Structure 1
Amino acid sequence: MRLLVTGANGFIGSACVRTALARGHTVAGLKRPGRPVPPDLPPSDRLLWLEGSLAEPPWPALEAFQPDTCLHAAWIATPGVYLHSPENDRLVRESLTFVDGLLQRGIRHLAGVGTCIEYQITGQPLAEDATPVAPDTPYARAKDALRRALQSRALQEGWTFTWGRVFYPYGPGEHPARFCSHLLRQLLQGQPVTVKSPHALKDYIFIEDLARAILLTLEHRLQGAVNWGTGTGVTVGHIARTAADLVGRPDLVRYQDPPQPDPFHPVVADATRLRQLGWSPAVDLREGLQRLLASLSGRTASH
């Protein structure tokens, strides 16, 4: 593939760039002017960095690169902000205009990065073809609006479109305020951690496993919605206990009593469609947290 990745210096985008290069693809990464290149992405003759944005794309450089596939990963993802930010609506408009420009320049396959919380939480594994879509945050509504607009256009115009719904990615390079990093930092500093919703069940996927899932989906040009999750749930309490055990401070974990209800519970993928491509997770929770811990503390991860 000649792959264009938007948001290429973000958590998910940079992991996909790294994985795409490892799988032999040629990549152009779009990043905002002045933003640093991720330090774990060294120069490569198959990697081109382009400065610009969805609102102001570097069209001459994109035309020269001639991508055949685009992974649209650029979006607001700041913990505590992204769910209700007005930027979500702006990003829908900018994304549609940007995609229009790509289509005018001959791109024929587009994959968008959606979210598991587009689904209605039913108490059952969330399935692409069976679970109702009922987004109830500005973030999830914006993602679903973009999906619907692009899916309709792809059907009318004959290009291929993939919509991947990401579950709960974690790992080195994530925002420090994300749950796993925040938890490990607190424990490393010897600070008590109170888990508010210890029984909440989530589908956590290690960032490298997620990137492999995304690249496999792109390589197969899978059309329609696909869940980018493991299919296995883990409780937030178990994550906290595992993290505390790795740090050697199980005494620091507390559980709120009574627990706080979690509106996103349970959120576990039906991963049948992804696994039919031959994908399976390579990194379990303990190893993933160990590798995240190593990145935070300078330790050598054990495998």
Structure 2
Amino acid sequence: MSRVLVTGASGFLGRALLPALVGRGFEVHGIARSAQAAVAGVSWHAADLLTEAGRRLALSVARPTHLVHLAWEARPGRYREDPVNRLWAEASIDLLARARAGGTRRILGIGSCLEYGPQSGPCEERTSQCNPTTLYGQAKLATAEAYIAAGASWGRVFVPFGPHEPQARLIPSLIRSLRAGQEFGCSHGGQLRDFVYVDDLAQMIAAVLGSELTGAVNLASGEPRSLRSVIEHVAGLLKARHLVRFGAVAATGVDAEPILAADVRRLREVTAGLPLVGFEEGAARGLAWWIDRLPGRE
């Protein structure tokens, strides 16, 4: 049986990816910094991947034939310019070298759309010039170059949403405010973004891992939406559009970029025919998940 090691397995994306890999017949090993609750079909190991000892331990206990490297700093409001990005780049490249030396035959690193930087249209893996404007994007890009040079795969995630999403991100923040009967101030909302439901993203990652694709591949829906349309859709599900205040907050930096969208032709080489949830159903499922966990007005 193929054994897959998933770093960052307890995070937002990792939680969704584990069952997708179990469903594909992998023996799944998850790495987290501390002990985790049991997940069917998953063996957990505690390790700090920012240390050499942690990286060595992770690979020795799992002896993976496959590796999905998700672990990185990703806390909203912090991750884009946190100096720890440089440490994660170094650790990730070292993990790659150790995995290759240990016989891991299939490696998929997970990056970000922020590696591309400002674009005038959808990002294409082989033709779009990368000019990241954040430390996070720069560190991810440097890591991507090392992975691609080593013959590994590198997935660039666009805008995931769904259960377990950090509360400070757009959709959870919107739901929390509207459920409390509070006004939600946001930018003008004209920016185009490529939202992808987290369970769909997990299936995409699993499909790429199980394929022979190498190099960069966009992990996205391929269906860009304006932030205004996303906010209005979720607010409409809550019957609270009247509480949204567009233009109340100035968009700056990456948030002001008019478009962050993906060309997904390369991804569809390995996901054609894969049943996906999509935005509308994903938004309904995500909302139901949050409602179960957040206080609302009586």
Instruction: Indicate the residue corresponding to 1:289 in structure 2.
Output: 283
Q: Distance in 1 between matches of 2:229 and 2:275?
A: 19
Unaligned runs of 5+ in 2: 294-298
1:50 aligns with 2:41: no
Structure-2 separation of matches of 1:31 and 1:258: 36
Displacement, 1:281? Answer: 6.6
With 186-195 and 251-260 compared, the bigger mean Cα shift is at: 251-260
- Listed as ranges, the gaps of 5+ residues in structure 1 are 155-159
Secondary structure of the corresponding residue to residue 241 of structure 1: helix
Q: Which residue of 2 aligns with 1:212?
A: 203
C-alpha deviation, 1:128, in angstroms: 0.5
Matching residue's letter, 2:119: T
- Look up the equivalent residue of 1:162 and give its one-letter code: S
Percent of pairs with identical residues: 33
Aligned with residue 241 of structure 1, among 232, 235, 238: 232
**Mean CA deviation greater in 24-33 or 58-67:** 58-67
User: 135, 154, 160: which is aligned to 1:163?
Assistant: 154
Equivalent residue runs for 1:30-49 within 5 Å:
30-34=31-35, 36-37=36-37, 42-44=39-41, 47-49=42-44
In 1: Cα distance, 2:250 partner to 2:93 partner: 41
What amino acid sits opposite 2:276 in the alignment?
A
Q: Which amino acid aligns with 2:178?
A: L
The match for 2:74 is 77
Give the match's secondary structure for 1:124. Answer: coil
Residue 96 of structure 1: how far off its partner (Å): 2.0
Report the Cα distance in structure 1 between the residues aligned to 2:31 and 2:137, rounded to whole angstroms. 23
Residue number in structure 2 paired with 1:14: 15
Query: In structure 2, what is the Cα distance between the partners aligned to 1:293 and 1:258?
Result: 24
Q: Does 1:24 align with 2:25?
A: yes
Distance 2:56 2:287 in 1: 40
Contact 2:109/2:147 (CA < 8 Å) preserved in 1?
no
Query: Hey, what does 1:100 align to over in structure 2?
Result: 97
190 and 137 in structure 1: CA distance in 2 versus 1, 3 angstrom threshold: same
TM superposition shift of 1:284: 2.8
State the alpha-carbon separation in 1 of the partners of residues 70 and 192 from structure 2: 25
Deviation at 1:265, TM superposition (A): 2.3
Q: TM-score by structure 1 length?
A: 0.89
Q: Deviations over 1:246-289 (max 9, x none)?
A: 11212111111796464332111000011122346722322212
Tell me how far 1:148 sits from its aligned partner.
1.3
Partner of 1:119: 116
Once the two structures are TM-superposed, the CA of residue 33 in structure 1 deviates from its matched residue by 2.5
Aligned-pair distance for 1:51? Answer: 0.8
Three-state SS of the structure 2 residue aligned to 1:121 is: coil
Post-superposition CA distance 1:170-210 (Å, at most 9, x none): 00011111111111111111111122131110000000000
Gap change, CA 1:257 and 1:192, over 3 Å in 2: closer
Q: Who is 1:90 aligned against? A: 87
Counterpart amino acid of residue 40 in structure 2: P
Which residue among 259, 263, 268 is the counterpart of 1:270? Answer: 263
Whole-Å Cα distance in 2 between the matches of residues 232 and 254 of structure 1? Answer: 25
- State the SS of the aligned residue for 1:287: helix
* Structure-2 separation of matches of 1:252 and 1:283: 28
- Distance in 2, matches of 1:170 and 1:115, equals 14
The 8 Å contact of residues 154 and 217 in structure 2, kept in 1 or not, is answered as: yes
Distance in 1 between residues matched to 2:192 and 2:218, nearest whole Å: 17
What are the superposed Cα offsets for residues 18-68 of structure 1, whole Å, 9 maximum, x if unpaired?
21012221111011024x33xxx6333xx2111102113264664353211
Match of 1:199 among 180, 186, 190: 190
8 Å Cα contact 1:7/1:74 also seen in 2? yes
Between the two proteins, the alignment pairs up a number of residues equal to 287
TM-score by length of 2: 0.90
Query: In the TM superposition, what whole-angstrom CA distance separates every residue of 1:282-301 from its partner, at most 9, and x where no partner exists?
Result: 223222121111111129xx
Structure 1 residues 67, 82: closer, same or farther in 2, change over 3 A? same
CA gap of 1:60–1:91, structure 2 versus 1, over 3 A, is closer
1:69-121 Cα offsets, whole Å, 9 max, x none, are 11000000000100000110011112222222222221122111111111142
Equivalent residue number for residue 157 of structure 1: none
- Partner letter of residue 77 of structure 1? A
Residue type of the partner of 2:48?
Answer: S
> Equivalents in 1 of 2:57, 2:202: separation in Å?
28
